[in-house]
Amino acid sequence: GEDVEQSLFLSVREGDSSVINCTYTDSSSTYLYWYKQEPGAGLQLLTYIFSNMDMKQDQRLTVLLNKKDKHLSLRIADTQTGDSAIYFCAEIPSGGGADGLTFGKGTHLIIQP
Amino acid sequence: NAGVTQTPKFQVLKTGQSMTLQCAQDMNHEYMSWYRQDPGMGLRLIHYSVGAGITDQGEVPNGYNVSRSTTEDFPLRLLSAAPSQTSVYFCASSTGGDGYTFGSGTRLTVV
């Protein structure tokens, strides 16, 4: 079945860039997402990329998609303490969105002063 | 718009009790789904619905029932609660590709 893999932890210094990586297995995925979860809160959609795109930029966020390697990354420029959270990569399998999302286990982003 | 509303926010059940987790959305979204989140496991799909009257099982459906009598509501029923169902439950809705909107979650403890 489909699987989405992420590293569990990433530690960066405040002001540096953070790069969170994700690999997925379903080559027919149509959309790929990044969600942010702060402690005790729900999931907030940060950004998404359609499978026919290579890159998407939205303010401090840059998403890169390498379909050949099934690799997705999220770059956060000028990381701030408010960026401390768990970041989930998720894909829509080939069903087109009706049958839910497949999530990675999440990457804990830790900000060092 | 309220988005996706889940109730209750917290619940403690005894083993064997039943209860319903409520989920309502006011965005006229066709697609709705339920997930559970456990430490180190990410979110796993329990059940989903593609429209009123249509539901299907996700990755971890055992012990849960759903129904979708209206577009707005998608309740999740625990028939006989077990400690293994202690988790945080999230409901989400979507029109398709441009992302799912999540509720704020229900934290359930089964003792």
At B47-64, the pLDDT tens digits run: 999 999 999 999 999 999
Mean pLDDT of A74-89: 96
Provide the pLDDT for residue A1: 47
Q: How far is A77 from chain B (nearest CA, A)?
A: 23
Answer whether A31 touches B (CB < 8 Å).
yes
- Residue whose token pair is 């006989």: B80
Provide the pLDDT for residue B1: 65
**Beta strand pairing call for B54-57 and B64-66:** unpaired
Provide the pLDDT for residue B2: 77
Q: B90 vs A92: CB contact, 8 Å cut-off?
A: no
Q: B96 vs A98: CB contact, 8 Å cut-off?
A: yes
Q: How far is A69 from chain B (nearest CA, A)?
A: 22
Q: A50 vs B97: CB contact, 8 Å cut-off?
A: yes
* Tokens standing for residue B46: 């329990």
Q: Given pLDDT bands bounded at 50, 70 and 90, which one contains residue A2?
A: low
Q: How far is A88 from chain B (nearest CA, A)?
A: 8
Cβ pair A92, A76 in contact under 8 A: no
Q: How far is A95 from chain B (nearest CA, A)?
A: 10
Best mutation target, A103, A107, A108, to test chain B (most B CBs within 10 A) = A103
Buried b (16+ CB within 10 A) or exposed e, A3-40: ebebeeebebeeeeebebbbbbebeebbbbbbbbbeee
Q: B99 vs A106: CB contact, 8 Å cut-off?
A: no
DSSP state of A21: E
pLDDT tens-place values along chain B, 111 residues long:
679 999 999 999 999 999 999 999 999 999 999 999 998 788 999 999 999 999 999 999 999 999 999 999 999 999 999 999 999 999 999 987 777 899 999 999 999
Residue A3, pLDDT > 70, answer yes
Mean pLDDT of A93-110: 82
Looking at chain A, which residue has its C-alpha nearest residue B46? A100
Mean pLDDT of A9-31: 91
Q: Given pLDDT bands bounded at 50, 70 and 90, which one contains residue A96?
A: low
Per-residue pLDDT tens over the stretch A22-79: 999 877 777 899 999 998 888 999 999 988 889 999 999 999 999 999 999 999 999 9
Q: Which of residues 37-76 of A touch B (CB under 8 A)?
A: 41-45, 48, 50
